[in-house]
């Protein structure tokens, strides 16, 4: 067991009103912090009052962007038990991604014990309503004060928590998407499969422009040919093609430029369990357009931790509008949302072994 020092706040904050949480606007009273030093490795794991970090202005994260993060959730179940959703997946992804930007992987036991200890200390920040959850943001940054371009020798790993509402106020609802054929998110050999802050920095201009034109997000195409579909906004993307009753589900493969999403992986498992054929393969916009013309483009949806399942109602591509399922949420998207959230809130048995109960005091 890790020896986590706990310093409680003397100034607890007022809790935000239920139903008005939004996403990532409020933060719990404490945070977990651990330092990495070149000689000692990971030292001084601690829970301290939530507040600003002290960073040297020359800290490498501020200049060369050595930063990555995770996004995961803890749910207060219908049985009042706290459950983490796929914590091993998130710990593994952070550990696997860190070496790509020359950061030390955070050991699984430090991350897991930090998460559980923080939830225990701030358990009364967990929203109760089904649909809401505690969003956890584990983050790893380079902190050495040095302006030469090389890997930092010092790091800080911290975890903060934000109570969040369900992404959808009134059920799962479809969005309008601009197919981005100029700007790219990630190129082969780059950082696309790592949850590095840099990928999100690269995405903001396209999503800002899209939002100005009335779209919710962009559909990213591949960096080489601007032909193959990669992700939708910050989410993985799925298309249901072919027969109406049991369409084939196609999602881009994990080939280096897209993120290995926890909800992507869960969606694939649920779909296969329900008897659907899921193909992880390259899918071009031309193929999607051809299915639309034939009337066999059944559904499209994004998958991510924040929204779980986000149906795509319209794609705008080179001046053409492609409406999907009459701009209504599809049966499959709704079924997947139900299946995954039922496991998250302990409404259904966890047949895939995805959740971990957090022992509360």
Rounded Cα distance between 16 and 256, Å, is 40
**Residues 274, 180: Cα–Cα separation, whole Å:** 33
User: Among residues 121 and 196, whose Cβ is nearest to ligand COI?
Assistant: 196
Residue 326 phi/psi, 5° resolution?
60, 30
In whole angstroms, the minimum distance from the beta carbon of 224 to ligand COI comes to 24
Query: What span, in angstroms and rounded, lies between the C-alpha atoms of 1 and 10?
Result: 27
Q: What minimum distance in Å lies between the beta carbon of 41 and ligand COI? A: 28
Nearer to ligand COI by C-beta: 71 or 330? 71
In the complex, least distance from residue 126 CB atom to ligand COI, rounded to whole angstroms: 18
Q: Which C-beta is closer to ligand COI: that of 161 or that of 235?
A: 235
CB of residue 90 vs ligand COI: minimum separation in angstroms?
11
* Plot region of 267 (φ>0 → left; ψ -120 to 50 → alpha; else → beta): alpha
Least distance (Å) between residue 308 CB and ligand COI: 9
Q: Between 72 and 249, whose beta carbon lies closer to ligand COI?
A: 72
Task: Decide whether 127 or 304 has the Cβ nearer to ligand COI.
Answer: 304
| Nearer residue to ligand COI within complex by CB, 233 or 329 | 233
* Interacting residues with ligand COI (CB under 6 A): 71, 234-235, 304-306
Q: Measured from the CB atom, is 113 or 257 closer to ligand COI?
A: 257
Beta carbons of 266 and 272 less than 8 angstroms apart: no
What is the closest distance, in whole angstroms, from the C-beta atom of residue 304 to ligand COI in the complex? 2
**Min CB(71)–ligand COI separation in Å:** 5
Closer by beta carbon to ligand COI, 121 or else 136: 136
Say if residues 299 and 325 touch (Cβ distance below 8 Å). Answer: yes
Q: Which residue is nearest to ligand COI (CB)?
A: 304
Smallest separation (angstroms) from ligand COI to the CB of 305: 3
């Amino acid at each position: 067991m890790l020896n986590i020092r706990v310093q409680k706040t003397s100034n607890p904050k007022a809790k935000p009103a239920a139903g008005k949480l939004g996403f990532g606007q409020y933060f719990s009273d404490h945070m977990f912090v651990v330092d990495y030093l070149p000689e000692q490795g990971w030292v001084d794991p601690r829970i301290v009052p939530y507040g600003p970090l002290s960073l040297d202005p020359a800290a490498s994260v501020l200049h060369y962007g050595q930063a990555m993060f995770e996004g995961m959730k803890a749910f207060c179940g219908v049985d009042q038990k706290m459950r983490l959703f796929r914590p091993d997946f998130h710990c593994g992804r952070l550990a696997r991604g860190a070496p790509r930007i020359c950061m030390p992987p955070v050991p699984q036991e430090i991350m897991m014990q930090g998460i559980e200890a923080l939830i225990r200390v701030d358990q009364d920040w967990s929203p109760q309503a089904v649909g809401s959850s505690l969003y956890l943001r584990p983050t790893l940054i380079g902190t050495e004060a040095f302006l030469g371009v090389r890997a930092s020798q010092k790091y800080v790993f911290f975890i903060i928590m934000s109570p969040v509402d369900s992404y959808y106020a009134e059920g799962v609802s479809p969005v309008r998407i601009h197919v981005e054929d100029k700007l790219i998110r990630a190129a082969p050999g780059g950082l696309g499969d790592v949850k590095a802050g840099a990928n999100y920095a690269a995405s903001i201009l396209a999503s800002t422009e899209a939002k100005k034109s009335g779209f919710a997000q962009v559909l990213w195409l591949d960096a080489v040919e601007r032909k193959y579909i990669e992700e939708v906004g910050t989410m993985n993307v799925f298309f249901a093609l072919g027969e109406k009753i049991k369409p084939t589900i196609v999602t881009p493969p994990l080939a280096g430029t897209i993120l290995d999403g926890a909800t992507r992986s869960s969606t694939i498992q649920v779909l296969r369990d329900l008897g659907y054929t899921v193909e992880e393969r390259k899918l071009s916009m031309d193929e999607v357009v051809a299915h639309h013309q034939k009337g066999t483009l059944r559904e499209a949806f994004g998958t991510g931790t924040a929204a779980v399942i986000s149906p795509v109602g319209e794609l705008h591509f080179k001046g053409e509008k492609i409406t999907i399922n009459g701009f209504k949420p599809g049966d499959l998207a709704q079924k997947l949302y139900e299946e995954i959230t039922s496991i998250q809130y302990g409404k259904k048995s966890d047949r895939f072994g995805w959740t971990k109960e957090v022992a509360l005091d």
